[in-house]
Amino acid sequence: MAKVFVFCIGGTGLRVMKSVVMLAASGMKTHGYDIVPVILDPHVDLEENTVLTTTIGDYIKVYNNATSGGSAQQLNAPEGFFNTRIIRLEDLDNEQNSTSASMAEKKSFGQYLNVGALSNEDVNHYLIQTLYSKDNLKNSLSVGFKGNPNVGTVVLNEMISGADWYDAFQRHCEKGDRVFIISSIFGGTGASGYPLLEKKIKEDVAHPQVQNALMGAVTVLPYFSLEDPTTSGSDIDSSNFYTKTKAALTYYEKSVKSDYLYYAGEQSLKAQYKNNEKEQKDKAHLVELVAASALFDFLERPAPNSPQAMTRAIRENVDALDLNTLGDGYKDIVKNVANMMIFDLLLDILPDELQFPLKKTRGLNKDFYLDQPFGSLNAFVKQFRKWYAELSENQRGFAPLNRVSKGEKLTPIIKTISLKAKNESYYLLKMIEASNKEAKNEHGNKLRYLLDFAYNGITNYTDRI
């Protein structure tokens, strides 16, 4: 199976990758590519880093449960939910170390440059004073580059050279594999990391399969602002985001050579976050979702004759976007997100559905609902629900679905259209019919039955979107 190595650089890279994982779980197609996420963020203590690593681990657990046929038999990937295989780079090597661990630097930038060893009269000392502020030099590298690409460029360049994760990437990248880089352009880590990594790959003559891999990238333009740094005491000032973006774009224009370069951004900085670079507990955002969708778009495109710059728009400029205001290009995303949210409702109902026919025919009984595979699936789907809630509440909101609770009418679950399924029983019935159509106990993986039949049942109604 071909792979796509997805390099997620910096905080935005992490958040976009989370959206990629969620979309993959909802059934977005990668056209036969396995996703290999490579997290590149020196800010290893960042909660988002841990959250993403856990989310990827949870996804892999569900995928493995869904494809295990028992007694070493391996099933094909599911048709719908969790249809894409995600493999950690360290799993390709059967190792336990994450890529970020090797990037962690507990030193300050000044210590990293060994500035203390330079005498005050040394010309290099003056050069450093010219290029970097005192705050730059004092900053601990373990919290990232705090929106300073001039710091990131120096540190990341060395971090990429000879890094274990890059060696692993070189070893496992095969002919036909692709590369996708996710970064932001208005911060420090992503803005500096993307051109460096791209250059490193494009100049890797010793590994033609790496050098010639079709490359896509998404660079995220400013989409949020931060609280005034004079009140928060932070080193990051979001009023500089546009200036930094313009400077970086000028550089990108001449230097980056990705086959497809996607730009995702906002017209204005609508969302305002707390200015706390240590935590960065920011809600999921539409722009991250759009950036994540770029990966899926890239995977269905052939190699272009020349580098292509891509972007995507929304139909109407409103604060809460639904299917109409998003535009037709978002139908697939809305449909998949709706499928997963309906699945979430069904997962709430099914354990209490004591006379559900699949209990007898497919073994979806009490023991199954108490077992680890269902628990892992349910926990993941709850994360998905939380992720969607964040997306819908943020500014601007991705909110094509109405909030529907257990037992309520389901016809209006997708705003602006009316589904034929009036309540859960319509989906349950289609699940039973899907089960009846399939050969009896062809594998015995109960979780797989649940995933397949639920997807089949749900899409029976949502396919009209």
Euclidean distance between CA atoms 44 and 101, whole angstroms: 7
Nearest Cα to Cα of residue 113 among 80, 144, 154: 154
Give min distance, CB of 458 to another protein, in A: 14
403-462 binders of another protein (CB under 8 A): 421-423, 425-426, 428-429, 432-433, 436-437, 440
What is the torsional sign of CA 282, 283, 288, 292? positive
- Cα(332)–Cα(413) distance, integer angstroms: 16
Structure tokens at 326: 């998003």
Q: What is the dihedral sign for C-alpha 394, 147, 192, 141? A: negative
Residue number with CB closer to another protein (263 or 343): 343
CA-based nearest residue to 5, from 170, 160, 156: 170
Taking the C-alpha atoms of residue 9 and residue 15, their distance in angstroms, rounded to an integer, is 10
Nearer to another protein, 21 or 410 (CB): 410
Instruction: List the structure tokens of 364.
Output: 């979806």
Q: Which of 359, 385, 415, 443 binds another protein (CB under 8 A)?
A: 359
Contacting another protein within 336-355 (CB under 8 A): 353, 355
Cβ proximity to another protein: between 138 and 420 the closer is: 420
> Which residue, 413 or 421, is less far from another protein as judged by CB?
421
Q: Is residue 366 within the footprint of another protein (CB under 8 A)?
A: no
Q: For residue 356, state whether it binds another protein (rule: CB under 8 A).
A: yes
**Torsion angle of alpha carbons 122, 124, 129, 135, nearest 10°?**
-110
**Tokens describing residue 198:** 């791209």
CA–CA gap between residue 100 and residue 39 (Å, rounded): 6
* Count of residues in contact with another protein, rule CB under 8 A: 19
| 135 is a contact residue toward another protein (CB under 8 A) | no
Q: Name the minimum Å distance from CB 337 to another protein.
A: 24
Query: What is residue 419's DSSP assignment?
Result: -
Nearer to another protein, 35 or 358 (CB): 358
Residue 110: CB atoms within 10 A of its CB come to 16
Q: How far is the CB of 442 from another protein (least distance, A)?
A: 14
Q: Which stretch binds another protein (CB under 8 A): 138-146, 193-201, 284-292, 356-364?
A: 356-364
Closer residue to another protein in complex, CB, 221/347: 347
CB of 434 to another protein, least distance (A): 11
Judged by the rule CB under 8 A, the positions of this chain that interact with another protein are 353, 355-357, 359-361, 421-423, 425-426, 428-429, 432-433, 436-437, 440
